[in-house]
Protein backbone atom coordinates (compact mmCIF):
# COMPACT_ATOMS: atom_id res chain seq x y z
CA UNK A 1 0.00 0.00 0.00
CA UNK A 2 0.96 3.65 -0.42
CA UNK A 3 0.56 6.28 2.29
CA UNK A 4 0.91 10.06 2.27
CA UNK A 5 0.59 12.84 4.81
CA UNK A 6 -1.44 15.81 3.65
CA UNK A 7 -0.95 19.42 4.73
CA UNK A 8 -3.79 20.50 7.01
CA UNK A 9 -2.04 23.23 9.01
CA UNK A 10 -1.10 20.85 11.82
CA UNK A 11 2.42 19.75 12.70
CA UNK A 12 1.85 16.10 11.81
CA UNK A 13 -0.58 16.52 8.91
CA UNK A 14 -3.32 14.09 8.00
CA UNK A 15 -2.74 10.50 6.97
CA UNK A 16 -4.11 9.45 3.57
CA UNK A 17 -4.09 6.25 1.57
CA UNK A 18 -2.97 6.79 -2.04
CA UNK A 19 -3.83 4.58 -4.99
CA UNK A 20 -1.11 2.48 -6.63
CA UNK A 21 -1.14 4.74 -9.70
CA UNK A 22 -0.81 7.85 -7.45
CA UNK A 23 -3.95 9.33 -9.03
CA UNK A 24 -6.42 9.23 -6.15
CA UNK A 25 -6.32 9.37 -2.38
CA UNK A 26 -8.60 8.80 0.59
CA UNK A 27 -8.24 10.26 4.07
CA UNK A 28 -7.47 7.66 6.70
CA UNK A 29 -9.10 9.78 9.39
CA UNK A 30 -11.41 7.03 10.51
CA UNK A 31 -8.45 4.68 11.00
CA UNK A 32 -5.43 6.69 12.18
CA UNK A 33 -4.96 10.46 12.27
CA UNK A 34 -1.23 10.43 11.45
CA UNK A 35 1.40 8.09 10.06
CA UNK A 36 3.18 8.02 13.43
CA UNK A 37 -0.07 6.89 15.07
CA UNK A 38 -0.32 4.10 12.49
CA UNK A 39 3.28 3.03 13.10
CA UNK A 40 2.74 3.08 16.87
CA UNK A 41 0.09 0.38 16.50
CA UNK A 42 0.95 -1.10 13.10
CA UNK A 43 -0.36 -4.64 13.65
CA UNK A 44 -3.82 -3.28 14.37
CA UNK A 45 -3.89 -0.28 12.03
CA UNK A 46 -2.15 -1.49 8.89
CA UNK A 47 -4.76 -4.13 7.91
CA UNK A 48 -7.43 -1.42 8.00
CA UNK A 49 -5.31 0.87 5.84
CA UNK A 50 -4.68 -2.04 3.51
CA UNK A 51 -8.42 -2.65 3.15
CA UNK A 52 -8.91 0.99 2.24
CA UNK A 53 -6.06 0.71 -0.27
CA UNK A 54 -7.74 -2.26 -1.98
CA UNK A 55 -11.00 -0.38 -2.24
CA UNK A 56 -9.27 2.74 -3.55
CA UNK A 57 -7.45 0.78 -6.26
CA UNK A 58 -10.68 -0.88 -7.33
CA UNK A 59 -12.51 2.46 -7.45
CA UNK A 60 -14.98 1.38 -4.77
CA UNK A 61 -14.62 4.40 -2.44
CA UNK A 62 -17.06 7.24 -2.05
CA UNK A 63 -14.84 9.95 -0.60
CA UNK A 64 -11.71 9.62 -2.74
CA UNK A 65 -10.15 12.69 -4.35
CA UNK A 66 -7.38 13.56 -6.78
CA UNK A 67 -3.95 13.03 -5.26
CA UNK A 68 -1.73 16.14 -5.44
CA UNK A 69 1.93 15.76 -4.36
CA UNK A 70 2.10 19.54 -3.83
CA UNK A 71 -0.30 19.12 -0.92
CA UNK A 72 1.99 16.56 0.75
CA UNK A 73 4.17 16.97 3.77
CA UNK A 74 6.91 14.39 4.28
CA UNK A 75 5.20 11.05 5.08
CA UNK A 76 6.56 11.65 8.62
CA UNK A 77 6.67 15.46 8.84
CA UNK A 78 8.63 15.08 12.06
CA UNK A 79 10.12 11.82 13.27
CA UNK A 80 11.64 10.53 16.50
CA UNK A 81 14.72 9.26 14.69
CA UNK A 82 16.55 9.79 11.41
CA UNK A 83 19.82 7.91 11.03
CA UNK A 84 21.50 7.97 7.66
CA UNK A 85 23.94 5.32 6.52
CA UNK A 86 26.58 5.46 3.80
CA UNK A 87 25.87 2.06 2.35
CA UNK A 88 27.17 2.86 -1.14
CA UNK A 89 30.80 2.77 -0.11
CA UNK A 90 31.85 3.69 -3.66
CA UNK A 91 30.55 7.20 -2.96
CA UNK A 92 32.63 7.49 0.21
CA UNK A 93 35.73 6.19 -1.54
CA UNK A 94 35.38 8.63 -4.46
CA UNK A 95 34.83 11.69 -2.28
CA UNK A 96 37.85 10.76 -0.16
CA UNK A 97 40.03 9.99 -3.16
CA UNK A 98 39.29 13.45 -4.55
CA UNK A 99 40.87 14.97 -1.47
CA UNK A 100 43.75 12.48 -1.43
CA UNK A 101 42.45 10.74 1.68
CA UNK A 102 42.61 6.97 1.82
CA UNK A 103 39.52 5.17 2.99
CA UNK A 104 40.03 2.78 5.92
CA UNK A 105 39.49 -0.84 4.83
CA UNK A 106 37.08 -1.23 7.76
CA UNK A 107 34.56 0.93 5.87
CA UNK A 108 33.75 -2.16 3.76
CA UNK A 109 32.72 -4.11 6.89
CA UNK A 110 31.55 -1.56 9.46
CA UNK A 111 28.74 0.76 8.31
CA UNK A 112 29.20 4.50 8.42
CA UNK A 113 26.05 6.17 9.80
CA UNK A 114 25.17 9.54 11.26
CA UNK A 115 22.35 10.69 13.51
CA UNK A 116 20.40 13.43 11.75
CA UNK A 117 17.89 16.07 12.79
CA UNK A 118 14.32 14.86 12.40
CA UNK A 119 12.09 17.57 13.89
CA UNK A 120 11.38 19.58 10.75
CA UNK A 121 11.34 17.61 7.51
CA UNK A 122 10.38 19.11 4.15
CA UNK A 123 7.59 17.84 1.94
CA UNK A 124 8.33 16.62 -1.60
CA UNK A 125 7.69 19.97 -3.30
CA UNK A 126 8.61 22.34 -0.45
CA UNK A 127 11.25 24.91 -1.27
CA UNK A 128 14.76 24.37 0.11
CA UNK A 129 15.20 27.69 1.90
CA UNK A 130 18.76 28.58 2.87
CA UNK A 131 20.63 31.78 3.61
CA UNK A 132 23.78 31.46 1.51
CA UNK A 133 24.77 29.83 -1.78
CA UNK A 134 28.32 29.99 -0.42
CA UNK A 135 27.46 27.16 1.96
CA UNK A 136 27.74 24.82 -1.05
CA UNK A 137 24.17 23.58 -1.44
CA UNK A 138 23.95 19.99 -2.68
CA UNK A 139 21.26 17.36 -3.05
CA UNK A 140 21.73 13.70 -2.09
CA UNK A 141 19.30 11.19 -3.58
CA UNK A 142 18.71 8.22 -1.32
CA UNK A 143 16.30 5.44 -0.45
CA UNK A 144 15.05 5.16 3.16
CA UNK A 145 13.01 2.77 5.28
CA UNK A 146 10.66 3.45 8.18
CA UNK A 147 10.73 0.85 10.94
CA UNK A 148 8.65 -0.57 13.73
CA UNK A 149 10.17 -1.26 17.15
CA UNK A 150 13.60 -2.86 16.88
CA UNK A 151 15.02 -4.08 20.21
CA UNK A 152 18.62 -3.50 21.19
CA UNK A 153 20.88 -6.26 19.97
CA UNK A 154 18.65 -7.36 17.11
CA UNK A 155 20.29 -9.34 14.33
CA UNK A 156 19.91 -8.16 10.73
CA UNK A 157 17.30 -10.90 10.21
CA UNK A 158 15.32 -9.69 13.23
CA UNK A 159 15.67 -6.08 12.14
CA UNK A 160 14.48 -6.96 8.64
CA UNK A 161 11.11 -8.04 10.04
CA UNK A 162 10.55 -4.50 11.33
CA UNK A 163 10.89 -2.70 8.00
CA UNK A 164 7.44 -1.20 7.47
CA UNK A 165 7.70 1.32 4.66
CA UNK A 166 10.09 2.73 2.07
CA UNK A 167 10.54 6.29 0.81
CA UNK A 168 12.91 8.44 -1.22
CA UNK A 169 14.98 11.15 0.46
CA UNK A 170 16.77 14.29 -0.56
CA UNK A 171 19.39 14.59 2.16
CA UNK A 172 20.27 18.23 1.52
CA UNK A 173 23.91 18.93 2.40
CA UNK A 174 25.96 22.09 2.80
CA UNK A 175 29.28 20.95 1.38
CA UNK A 176 31.34 23.99 2.32
CA UNK A 177 30.34 23.69 5.99
CA UNK A 178 31.18 20.00 6.18
CA UNK A 179 35.01 19.99 6.40
CA UNK A 180 35.18 22.37 9.39
CA UNK A 181 32.28 20.68 11.13
CA UNK A 182 33.61 17.14 10.72
CA UNK A 183 37.05 18.32 11.84
CA UNK A 184 35.48 19.16 15.20
CA UNK A 185 34.85 15.44 15.59
CA UNK A 186 31.17 15.32 16.58
CA UNK A 187 29.60 14.73 13.16
CA UNK A 188 27.16 16.80 11.11
CA UNK A 189 24.97 19.49 12.64
CA UNK A 190 24.83 22.76 10.69
CA UNK A 191 26.02 21.07 7.49
CA UNK A 192 22.89 18.91 7.24
CA UNK A 193 19.79 21.13 7.10
CA UNK A 194 16.24 19.75 6.78
CA UNK A 195 15.88 16.65 4.59
CA UNK A 196 13.00 16.17 2.13
CA UNK A 197 10.98 13.04 1.42
CA UNK A 198 8.91 11.59 -1.41
CA UNK A 199 5.13 12.15 -1.62
CA UNK A 200 4.31 8.61 -0.55
CA UNK A 201 5.80 5.89 1.61
CA UNK A 202 5.12 2.37 0.34
CA UNK A 203 5.06 -1.05 1.93
CA UNK A 204 7.83 -3.38 0.66
CA UNK A 205 5.34 -5.58 -1.23
CA UNK A 206 4.71 -2.65 -3.61
CA UNK A 207 8.21 -3.22 -4.98
CA UNK A 208 7.50 -6.85 -5.84
CA UNK A 209 10.65 -8.60 -7.08
CA UNK A 210 12.56 -5.34 -6.90
CA UNK A 211 12.69 -5.69 -3.08
CA UNK A 212 15.27 -8.40 -2.43
CA UNK A 213 17.96 -8.92 0.18
CA UNK A 214 16.67 -5.76 1.96
CA UNK A 215 17.68 -3.64 -1.04
CA UNK A 216 15.64 -1.87 -3.71
CA UNK A 217 16.68 -3.18 -7.13
CA UNK A 218 15.75 -0.25 -9.35
CA UNK A 219 17.54 2.86 -10.64
CA UNK A 220 17.12 6.13 -8.73
CA UNK A 221 16.77 9.09 -11.09
CA UNK A 222 18.09 12.56 -10.23
CA UNK A 223 17.18 15.42 -12.54
CA UNK A 224 18.98 18.70 -11.83
CA UNK A 225 17.60 21.82 -13.54
CA UNK A 226 15.67 19.62 -15.95
CA UNK A 227 18.66 17.45 -16.94
CA UNK A 228 18.87 13.81 -15.92
CA UNK A 229 22.26 13.66 -14.18
CA UNK A 230 22.08 10.27 -12.52
CA UNK A 231 20.29 6.96 -12.57
CA UNK A 232 22.49 4.66 -10.50
CA UNK A 233 20.95 1.31 -9.62
CA UNK A 234 20.00 1.22 -5.94
CA UNK A 235 20.44 -2.56 -5.80
CA UNK A 236 24.03 -2.45 -7.12
CA UNK A 237 27.06 -1.58 -4.96
CA UNK A 238 24.93 -1.26 -1.79
CA UNK A 239 27.48 -2.81 0.57
CA UNK A 240 25.19 -2.85 3.63
CA UNK A 241 21.50 -3.57 3.16
CA UNK A 242 18.78 -1.94 5.24
CA UNK A 243 18.62 -4.86 7.68
CA UNK A 244 22.34 -4.54 8.36
CA UNK A 245 22.12 -0.77 8.75
CA UNK A 246 19.28 -1.16 11.23
CA UNK A 247 21.10 -3.82 13.25
CA UNK A 248 24.14 -1.54 13.34
CA UNK A 249 22.04 1.26 14.84
CA UNK A 250 20.55 -1.10 17.43
CA UNK A 251 23.80 -2.55 18.77
CA UNK A 252 23.56 -0.51 22.00
CA UNK A 253 19.97 0.75 22.05
CA UNK A 254 16.42 0.15 20.92
CA UNK A 255 15.08 1.86 17.81
CA UNK A 256 11.43 2.75 18.27
CA UNK A 257 8.56 2.79 15.78
CA UNK A 258 8.89 5.55 13.23
CA UNK A 259 12.68 5.38 13.00
CA UNK A 260 13.87 6.36 9.53
CA UNK A 261 17.07 4.80 8.16
CA UNK A 262 18.65 6.23 5.02
CA UNK A 263 20.80 4.33 2.53
CA UNK A 264 23.22 7.17 1.92
CA UNK A 265 23.78 8.65 -1.53
CA UNK A 266 23.04 6.00 -4.13
CA UNK A 267 26.21 5.47 -6.14
CA UNK A 268 27.48 2.89 -8.62
CA UNK A 269 31.06 2.06 -9.51
CA UNK A 270 29.96 2.36 -13.13
CA UNK A 271 30.36 6.13 -13.55
CA UNK A 272 28.19 6.01 -16.68
CA UNK A 273 25.19 5.72 -14.36
CA UNK A 274 25.76 9.35 -13.35
CA UNK A 275 25.52 10.83 -9.90
CA UNK A 276 23.06 11.30 -7.02
CA UNK A 277 24.86 14.32 -5.56
CA UNK A 278 27.04 17.06 -6.99
CA UNK A 279 29.88 16.29 -4.59
CA UNK A 280 30.43 12.98 -6.37
CA UNK A 281 30.51 14.64 -9.79
CA UNK A 282 33.04 17.12 -8.44
CA UNK A 283 35.09 14.30 -6.95
CA UNK A 284 35.29 12.60 -10.34
CA UNK A 285 36.34 15.90 -11.91
CA UNK A 286 39.05 16.33 -9.28
CA UNK A 287 40.34 12.83 -9.90
CA UNK A 288 40.25 13.18 -13.71
CA UNK A 289 41.14 16.84 -14.23
CA UNK A 290 42.57 18.02 -10.94
CA UNK A 291 39.85 20.62 -10.62
CA UNK A 292 36.14 20.46 -9.71
CA UNK A 293 34.34 22.42 -12.42
CA UNK A 294 30.67 21.73 -11.68
CA UNK A 295 29.32 24.30 -9.21
CA UNK A 296 26.97 23.45 -6.35
CA UNK A 297 23.30 24.51 -6.49
CA UNK A 298 22.31 28.15 -6.89
CA UNK A 299 19.15 29.88 -5.76
CA UNK A 300 16.46 29.00 -8.27
CA UNK A 301 17.95 25.60 -9.10
CA UNK A 302 15.59 22.64 -9.18
CA UNK A 303 16.12 19.01 -8.21
CA UNK A 304 13.79 16.13 -9.04
CA UNK A 305 14.32 12.68 -7.53
CA UNK A 306 12.17 9.75 -8.65
CA UNK A 307 12.14 5.98 -9.00
CA UNK A 308 10.26 4.25 -11.83
CA UNK A 309 9.16 0.64 -11.86
CA UNK A 310 9.82 -1.77 -14.72
CA UNK A 311 6.83 -0.35 -16.60
CA UNK A 312 8.07 3.24 -16.24
CA UNK A 313 5.57 4.20 -13.57
CA UNK A 314 6.56 6.32 -10.58
CA UNK A 315 6.55 4.30 -7.37
CA UNK A 316 6.95 6.99 -4.70
CA UNK A 317 5.99 10.09 -6.69
CA UNK A 318 8.69 12.69 -7.23
CA UNK A 319 10.67 14.86 -4.86
CA UNK A 320 10.64 18.08 -6.90
CA UNK A 321 12.14 21.09 -5.18
CA UNK A 322 13.50 24.55 -5.84
CA UNK A 323 16.31 26.16 -3.84
CA UNK A 324 15.33 29.57 -2.52
CA UNK A 325 17.15 32.29 -0.61
CA UNK A 326 15.98 32.90 2.94
CA UNK A 327 14.57 36.33 3.68
CA UNK A 328 17.33 38.78 4.52
CA UNK A 329 16.16 39.33 8.10
CA UNK A 330 16.68 35.66 8.74
CA UNK A 331 20.07 35.32 7.15
CA UNK A 332 23.13 35.68 9.31
Question: Is residue 116 near a second copy by the rule CB under 8 A?
Answer: yes
Element (H, E) at 178: helix 178-183
- Kindly tell me which residue out of 16, 239, 255, 277 binds a second copy, with binding defined by CB under 8 A: 255
Q: Enumerate the β-bridge partners of residue 105.
A: none
- Kindly tell me which residue out of 31, 112, 266, 305 binds a second copy, with binding defined by CB under 8 A: 112
Question: Is residue 80 near a second copy by the rule CB under 8 A?
Answer: yes
CA-wise closest residue to 322 among 192, 139, 72: 139
Task: Tell me the C-alpha distance between 26 and 15, whole Å.
Answer: 9
Using the contact rule CB under 8 A, the part of the chain among 52-60, 67-75, 110-118, 163-171 near a second copy is 110-118
- The b/e string for 169-179 (b: 16+ C-beta within 10 A; e otherwise) is bbbbbbbbbbe
Question: Is residue 218 near a second copy by the rule CB under 8 A?
Answer: no
Q: Is 99 exposed, middle or buried (0-12, 13-18, 19+ CB in 10 A)?
A: exposed
- Kindly tell me which residue out of 29, 110, 134, 309 binds a second copy, with binding defined by CB under 8 A: 110
Using the contact rule CB under 8 A, the part of the chain among 50-58, 116-124, 217-225, 305-313 near a second copy is 116-124
Question: Is residue 174 near a second copy by the rule CB under 8 A?
Answer: yes
Question: Is residue 148 near a second copy by the rule CB under 8 A?
Answer: no
Which residues, other chains included, contact 98 with Cβ-Cβ below 8 Å and sequence gap of 6+? 282, 283, 284, 286, 287, 292
Q: Strand 163-170 relative to strand 141-147: parallel, antiparallel, unpaired?
A: antiparallel
- Closer of 24 and 34 to a second copy (Cβ): 34
Least distance between a second copy and beta carbon 294 (Å) = 22
Task: Tell me the C-alpha distance between 15 and 232, whole Å.
Answer: 31
Which stretches of 58-172 are DSSP H helices?
89-98, 156-160
Task: Tell me the C-alpha distance between 220 and 90, whole Å.
Answer: 16
Decide: 217 and 211 in contact? Cβ < 8 Å: yes
Using the contact rule CB under 8 A, the part of the chain among 182-190, 205-213, 227-235, 299-307 near a second copy is 182-190
Question: Is residue 191 near a second copy by the rule CB under 8 A?
Answer: yes
State the number of binding residues for a second copy (CB under 8 A): 56
Question: Is residue 332 near a second copy by the rule CB under 8 A?
Answer: yes
Using the contact rule CB under 8 A, the part of the chain among 27-35, 191-199, 268-276, 298-306 near a second copy is 191-199
- Closer of 14 and 64 to a second copy (Cβ): 14
Residue 323, φ and ψ in degrees, nearest 5: -85, 135
Using the contact rule CB under 8 A, the part of the chain among 63-71, 234-242, 256-264, 282-290 near a second copy is 256-264
- Kindly tell me which residue out of 45, 113, 201, 323 binds a second copy, with binding defined by CB under 8 A: 113
Q: Is the dihedral of CA 51, 19, 33, 162 positive or negative?
A: positive
Question: Is residue 299 near a second copy by the rule CB under 8 A?
Answer: no
Binding site for a second copy (CB under 8 A): 11, 40, 78-81, 83, 86, 104, 107, 110, 112-120, 129-131, 135, 151-153, 155, 174, 177, 182, 184-191, 193-194, 248-249, 251-259, 326, 330-332
Amino acid sequence: MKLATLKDGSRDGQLAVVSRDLKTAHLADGIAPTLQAALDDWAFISPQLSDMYQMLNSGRTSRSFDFDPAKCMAPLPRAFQWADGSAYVNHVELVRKARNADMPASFWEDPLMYQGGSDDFLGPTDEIVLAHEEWGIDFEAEVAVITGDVPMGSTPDQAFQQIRLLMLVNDVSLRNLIPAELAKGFGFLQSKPASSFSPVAVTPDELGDHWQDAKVHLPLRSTWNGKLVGQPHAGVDMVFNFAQLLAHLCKTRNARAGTIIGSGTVSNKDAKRGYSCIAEKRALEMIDDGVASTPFMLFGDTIRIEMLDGAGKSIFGAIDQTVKQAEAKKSR
